[in-house]
A and B are shown apart, each in its own frame.
Chain A
Amino acid sequence: MKKVILLLVIFVFLFSYSIFAVTADEIIQKRDDNEYLKTARVESKMVINNNNRKLEKVMISLIDGNKALVEFTNPMDRGTKFLKREDNLWMFFPDAEDVVKLSGHMLERGMMGSDFSYKDMMESEKLTELYNFEIIEEQEYQKRPCYVIEGIKKQGAEATYYKRIVWIDKERHIGLKEELYAESGKLLKEIVVQEVQEFDHRWYPTKSVMEDKLRENTSTEFIIESIEFNPEIPEGTFSLQSLQ
């Protein structure tokens, strides 16, 4: 009997060890493999909900590492473009045909009135480069087994948020929920992924909802209508010239 108990203890120990043998960084890396866009062309829309009112923004984005070019196509913003290169953001006003560099503080404002800030939309670094991650628990979320992983900003890293807690689907390695915190511990934003799709063995969120906790009764749905991974992007696309 003692031998059986001993074997059981060893088995449980080994089983639990094998679970946590996967490190947080490996899980985040697998998530990055799915969600990090090296180059992409994305057609998407944002639906901004404020109390009972809705506002819809439609856009086409080209992404190449830390560079992004976004053009809005909905009637109210038609022709408005953004160029992001590292932390510099430039905006093209279509009526005036002007290109103006936006001030840095604008990067933290809601993009075109949404709950996504310009930084949220354009953050392009891999998360493992910005945060130290650790698994804090395992949990079922949206009926999926998930790792709950906490990331604390690395010293000197230029991350938008001090802390992030992310629920990552164990099997599909995709973030299903994410909470973003200030250094004070205040919850700033929450993103919930509502739909995911598999593209060539790669899972990607196609519908998510962001709530800016600093604003009352608002949320923004971000819906990807089409995505092309690793397209050929012509040289000179991410230039002030191409904004005009």
Chain B
Amino acid sequence: MSKKHFRSLLILLTLLFLISSSVFAYQFGGDITVGTNTTLFDQEVETTTYQNINLGLELDNANFAVTFKNNTANQEFDILLKKAYIKSSFKNLEIKLGKQPVSWSFGSLINLVDFSLGAEALGQETETKYINAVELNYPVNWYSSLTFVNEFNNNYDKYGFRGRTLIQNFDFSLNYIKQSSTSNSLSRLGVSLKGDIGSLGVYSSYTNMDYQDEIINSDINTNALMVGVDYSFYINQKQGYGNRLMVQGEYHIVKNNAGLPVLLSSLGRAELPFDSGSNIPNGNDYLQILLSNLNYNINDFSSIGVFTLTSLKDGSTALIPNYSNQLNGNTTLRISGAFLSGSQTDLFYSPAKVLNIELSYVF
């Protein structure tokens, strides 16, 4: 089904749905964000300001969310439709049709077995996750379900299956995603699990990737492994009180060939000021990445943290510090940056340094 036909079908179903529903329970809300983004590049400073308004409306069986974006750098005003979907149930089968967020997160910093690579990365969601799709979900019991997603896109065909269950208190998923265009295709088959060993949170994923390119006549099959841990504890207890420190660490190992672009896509490049790894030639070398997240709650309202990404092969590191403070009312101040230490031939390299400051008000 083409994107055009999909839109027509969606509009028709939405109208039918709205006409047939007489009484709605609804929630309406949103937020307004103003921010500045400063990039320091070769001693030149470029600052842009932006304003975003997010509006959301949730009805019993439908959901709408839209972002109005204004960027002073390019004088562009943009509208991003994030959600416009209806949901319905037939016996046990649940259906969501329309523009909707799809991600198969399980708590990792990056997720190679997600439906959309980079949909969520380093604790942030990206625009990648909002897709035109139909989702069929069949709950087997309170903790198990089978999910099928078909994305409608003019540039490629994409679908995925997910089976999710609980085994010995571990959240277990088996995912398969295939995306193909006229010249190439990428399929990913993987498992993920998350649970506890004692008081330590542990999680892992294993992904098999198959990349076929008809133009250069290549077929690469490769695997990726990730293991991660998270833990939190009180520090600063000398005077009988303390603050929580949350620590999360992830180790990834992939081959450079097909694994590298998948891993980089999973990073959600919006967080970084460059195309990471553009200087790394494809090959069969193993690439090992260490990710960490430290987050310290200063008090109930503010926290400070830092994400780090380190390539174990060349030692290059990306630092993404962040600070947030909930001011009076529903206003939050967020400050974040991105600094990379590597040289030109390293994985995490960029001469640019980025600083972002924003204020958002939720209503």
Complex contacts, B283 vs chain A, CB 8 Å: none
Within residues 104 to 139 of chain B, which ones have a CB less than 8 A from any CB in chain A? 105-107, 120, 125, 129, 137, 139
A98 contacts B241, CB within 8 Å? no
User: Is A97 part of the contact surface with B, judged by Cβ < 8 Å?
Assistant: yes
Taking A76-B362, A96-B103, A103-B201 as contacts, is the C-beta distance between A241 and B145 under 8 angstroms? yes
Bound complex: CA A200 to CA B11 (Å): 51
* Interchain CA distance A148-B105 in the complex, whole Å: 48
8 Å CB contacts to A: which residues of B168-218? 169, 171, 194-196, 199-201
Q: List residues 72-101 of chain A with CB under 8 A from any CB of chain B.
A: 73, 75-76, 78-79, 85, 87-88, 95-98, 100-101
A105 touches B199 (CB 8 A): yes
Whether the pair B301, A55 counts as a contact (CB closer than 8 A) is yes
Q: A109 within 8 Å of B by Cβ?
A: yes
A239 shortest CB reach to chain B, Å: 4
Q: How close is B215's CB to chain A, nearest CB, in angstroms? A: 35
Q: Once bound together, how far apart are the Cα atoms of A215 and B235, in whole Å?
A: 11
Which B residues are in CB contact (< 8 Å) with A7? none
Is the CB–CB distance between B241 and A216 below 8 Å? yes
Complex CA gap A145/B85 in Å reads: 59
A238: nearest chain-B partner, CB-CB: B142
Across the two chains, which residue of chain B brings its CB closest to A88? B169
Interface range on chain B (Cβ under 8 Å from partner): 35 or more
A59 → chain B closest CB, angstroms: 14
Assess the B105–A100 pair: CB atoms within 8 A.
yes
A105 touches B232 (CB 8 A): yes
Q: Does A231 contact B (CB under 8 A)?
A: no
User: Is the CB–CB distance between B240 and A214 below 8 Å?
Assistant: yes
Q: List 10 A-B contacts (CB under 8 A).
A: A50-B299, A53-B328, A87-B169, A96-B125, A98-B103, A102-B107, A103-B196, A103-B200, A105-B201, A239-B143
Q: Which residues of B contact A87 (CB under 8 A)?
A: 169
Report B-chain residues with C-beta under 8 Å of the C-beta of A55: 300-301, 326
Q: Is B39 an interface position by the 8 A CB rule? A: no
| Contacts A96-B101, A240-B145 supplied; 12 other A-B pairs, CB < 8 Å | A51-B299, A55-B301, A75-B29, A87-B169, A88-B169, A98-B103, A101-B171, A103-B107, A103-B200, A105-B200, A214-B240, A215-B242
Task: Pick the residue among A78, A95, A114 that contacts B125 (CB under 8 A).
Answer: A95
Contact between chains at A109 and B244 (CB < 8 Å): yes
User: Which chain B positions have C-beta within 8 A of A50?
Assistant: 299-301
Q: Does B29 lie within 8 Å of A78, measured CB to CB?
A: yes
- Given the known interface contacts A98-B105, A113-B300, A213-B241, the answer about A75 and B143 at a Cβ–Cβ threshold of 8 Å is no
B29 CB contacts on chain A under 8 angstroms: 75, 78
Known contacts A85-B142, A100-B107, A106-B232; is A241 also within 8 Å of B94 by CB?
yes
Chain B at the A interface: SS class:
strand
B58 contacts chain A at the CB level, 8 A cutoff = yes
- Set of chain B residues within 8 Å of A213, measured between Cβ atoms: 240-241
A206 at the interface (CB under 8 A from B): no
Contact B142 A239 (CB under 8 A): yes
Given contacts A50-B299, A241-B145, contact A104 B106 (CB under 8 A): no
Contact B94 A104 (CB under 8 A): no
In the complex, B234 has a CB within 8 A of chain A: yes
Task: Identify the closest chain A residue to B120 (Cβ).
Answer: A96
- Beta-carbon contact of B232 and A240 below 8 Å: no
B:5-63 near A, CB below 8 Å: 27, 29, 58
Q: Which of B309-363 contact A (CB under 8 A)?
A: 326, 328, 330, 362-363
Which of B101, B166, B232, B301 is the one whose CB lies under 8 Å from A53? B301
The answer to whether B145 touches A48 (Cβ under 8 A) is no
A contact residues around B297 at 8 Å (CB): 113
Whether the pair B103, A103 counts as a contact (CB closer than 8 A) is no
Most interface-central of A102, A105, A239 (chain B CB within 10 A) = A105
A85–B100 Cα gap in the complex (Å)?
28
* Cross-chain contact A96 with B129 (CB below 8 angstroms): yes
Cross-chain contact B231 with A105 (CB below 8 angstroms)? yes
Kindly list chain B residues whose C-beta atoms are within 8 Å of the C-beta of A102. 107
The 10 A-B residue pairs whose C-beta atoms are closest, nearest first, are A103-B201, A239-B142, A104-B196, A216-B241, A101-B171, A241-B139, A113-B300, A50-B300, A98-B105, A75-B362
Complex contacts, A218 vs chain B, CB 8 Å: 299-300
B230: chain A residues at CB < 8 Å are: 103, 105
State the CA gap A239–B145 with chains docked (Å).
10
**Residue on A with the closest CB to B332?**
A76
Distance (Å) between the CB of A122 and the closest chain B CB? 16
Contact indicator per residue, chain A 45-60, by CB within 8 Å of chain B (1) or not (0): 0001011010100000
- Residue B75, interface by CB 8 Å: no
Contact of B239 among A51, A76, A216 (CB under 8 A): A216
Please state if A75 and B58 are interface contacts (CB–CB under 8 Å): no
Any A CB within 8 A of the CB of B237: yes
Query: Is A156 part of the contact surface with B, judged by Cβ < 8 Å?
Result: no
Which residues of B255-277 have CB atoms within 8 Å of chain A's CB atoms?
A: none
Note all chain A residues with C-beta closer than 8 A to B139. Answer: 236, 239-241
Q: Is the CB of A215 within 8 A of B107?
A: no
Tell me the nearest residue of chain B to A220, going by C-beta: B300
- B89: nearest chain-A partner, CB-CB: A241
